[in-house]
Amino acid sequence: MDLNPAEAIAVTKAIASKEKNEAREGLEPGQYDIDALVHIFGTLTVGEDYQQNKTAAMPQIKMLLAAIMLNGISVRAFVRRYLDGEFDVPKEKEKELSKIWKELAENFNDTFSGKVTSKLTAEKVETSAENAA
């Protein structure tokens, strides 16, 4: 394919979801041969890459479970007691816990690609064969 990266993304974004859904309703089950020349124009905007915590990969849950088990309480009992409100964090410890959480989280940052938005139009280009028909 001789498209540059911006053109390749534009092709995938040119038809809005609403148009795709409406077009799909007009199709019967089956196989369709496609040979269409399409003109796509408009703007494509690419946002800056950004850092975000991969919280699912963070070990806090495993660390918490290990600490609970090392203190001789079952995880089930801990959760039941937590839900009953027995484990409130003292106000003087909240700041310390937040600092520790932030330090841990910084080790699990990942870079994500910036969001791509578009204002594109796709028009079918009539070929001389179609005009003759």
Q: pLDDT 10s digit of each residue in the chain, 133 long?
A: 688 888 888 888 887 767 888 888 888 999 998 888 889 999 999 999 998 876 665 566 667 777 777 777 787 887 787 778 777 767 777 787 778 777 777 777 788 899 999 888 888 888 766 665 6
Q: How many helices (H) and strands (E) does the chain have?
A: 6, 4
**Are residues 55 and 44 both part of a single domain?**
no
Q: How far apart are CA 37 and CA 106, in angstroms?
A: 49
Residue 43 shares a structural domain with residue 57: no
Whether 30 and 64 share a structural domain:
no
- Give the span between the Cα atoms of 77 and 68, in whole angstroms: 10
Q: Which domain covers residue 83, as residue numbers?
A: 51-111
The total of structural domains in the chain comes to: 2
Same domain, 58 and 38: no
Q: What is the pTM of this model?
A: 0.50
